[in-house]
Amino acid sequence: MKFVRPYSALARVYDAVMDHVEYDAWADYILHLMDSWDAKEDEAVADENATDGASSERQTSSRSVLELGAGTGLLTLELLDQSDVDMIATDASEDMLRLASSRLEVFPERSRVEVLDFSNGWSAFTGSFDVILLLFDGYNYLLDEKDVAAMLQGVADHLNDGGLFIFDQSTPHNSINNADFFEDEGELEGAEYIRKSSFDDKSNLHTTDFDIQTSEGSFHETHVQRAWTLDETKRLLKSVPLSHVAAYDGFSLDSAQSESERIHWVLRRNPR
């Protein structure tokens, strides 16, 4: 068995691993947050009503969106399909982006892919955006406070004034409450995977091991994530030029609590 970097062999079966995710509903939720906290307005006009029917009220003004950790482009595709945003989908894994690039060919004028490691690869990246997204545990791959600070500064540097940064995080409660969910197996187009997981409640590190079998051989990937708490993230956000707009529990419009399993944050770029 060959030990390889995260998201190299896994790219082959990633869509099977994520088969439980309702990307259409997730995209609708993110677009609702974007509309509620319009990146092009000086004043936020959050609608605290339920998101039912949000897509029918979607704003028509186009936004430039940078997606960090876009993976194979499943969420990117839904965002493009449900709105008129212009997107750059980025990821540190070229193997994942190859699949994303093929998937996004249906939107050639509004999307492209680019390799970007959001933890430390900002120096050669150019462009500014109305919205930057980092979703489904991308934030949790940042294990140290200095890594979080570097990511947040990179985001701030590439957001237009008043622009939005929307990201989510998995908390220790998610790792503890859903331990059985993080162990499974599956297959996709002749490739197979077995996933095993463990959580250290002292370090709040969540380790996931994948054994992957493809026609090219057997591979092993180890993924380590940090389950940041609500209070830890609040503290880390104080050191960058981004204002805390909202923190939501899961995929709702309820305020996040210390017991929340997943939190969606909305931040705004302060004027320069």
pLDDT greater at residue 125 or residue 53: 125
What is the pLDDT at residue 130?
97
Does the CA dihedral 245-249-255-258 come out positive or negative?
negative
What is the pLDDT at residue 41?
53
CB 128 within 8 A of CB 159: yes
Side chain identity at residue 138, one-letter code: G
| pLDDT higher than 60, residue 80 | yes
Distance CA 163, CA 147 (A): 22
What is the pLDDT at residue 60?
45
Give residue-wise pLDDT tens across range 139-148: 999 999 999 9
pLDDT category, 58, cuts 50, 70, 90?
low
Per-chain mean pLDDT for the chain: 93
Percent of the chain's residues with pLDDT above 90: 89
| pLDDT higher than 70, residue 51 | no
pLDDT category, 126, cuts 50, 70, 90?
very high
Mean pLDDT along residues 109-128: 96
What is the pLDDT at residue 57?
53
| pLDDT higher than 60, residue 205 | yes
Distance CA 176, CA 48 (A): 30
**What residues have CB less than 8 Å from 101, skipping those under 6 apart?**
73, 113
| pLDDT higher than 60, residue 242 | yes
What is the pLDDT at residue 62?
84
What is the pLDDT at residue 136?
94
pLDDT category, 38, cuts 50, 70, 90?
confident
| Element of type H or E holding 2 | strand 2-3
What is the pLDDT at residue 50?
42
